[in-house]
Amino acid sequence: MLLEDEEETRMANQAWEDAKETFDDEEELYNEYYSEYEMWYNLMLAEQDLDLWREYQKGADDAWTRVAEQEYWYYLALDEWEYQDGQKEAGLAAEAAEAAAELRDQAQGYRQGVINYYESELEGLESSMEGI
């Protein structure tokens, strides 16, 4: 049982790391595509020659197509990472709750031991009083 829990935790951590790495990669690619688009757009705005302006506009349009496509993958990776992050946080919260329950059980056991001790002391006093 303990080995299964450890394996489950290891797999959850790996899934979180994979999701985070994928998100970072997709974000980097999105930023690269958007920078390319901005470059083409700025060239287009600065150009006076109509033929070059059209080439720059075509470059900007092509770059924007890549940005739009990459945006889909970016948000897909973001959703997966947020899901895995939520799973990781839920696992940590469950572990904390389990530890708190264990401490509560230990405290209840200690309290019951104290109660049992004093009850036995009272019974001893009652029996010695009956003997008088």
What secondary structure does DSSP assign to 36-84, as a single string? HHHHHHHHHHH--SHHHHHHHHHHHHHHHHHHHHHHHHHHHHHHHHHHH
**What's the pLDDT tens digit per position in 43-87?**
998 988 888 999 999 999 999 999 999 999 999 999 998 999 999
Give the C-alpha distances (Å, rounded to integers) separating 54 from 41, 43, 48, 64.
Answer: 11, 11, 10, 15
Supply the pTM of this predicted model.
Answer: 0.64
Domain boundaries along the sequence of the chain: 2-130
Q: Yes or no: say if 56 and 40 are a contact pair by the CB < 8 Å rule.
A: yes
Contact 40, 52 (CB under 8 A): no
Name the band, by pLDDT with cuts 50, 70 and 90, for residue 115: very high
Quick one: tokens of 18? 């994979």
Does the pLDDT at position 132 exceed 90? Answer: no
Q: What is the pLDDT of residues 9-26, one digit of tens each?
A: 888 889 989 999 999 999
Q: Which comes out higher in pLDDT, residue 103 or 125?
A: 103
- State whether CATH 1.10.287 applies to domain 2-130: yes
What confidence score (pLDDT) does residue 95 get?
86
Both tokens assigned to 20:
């985070």
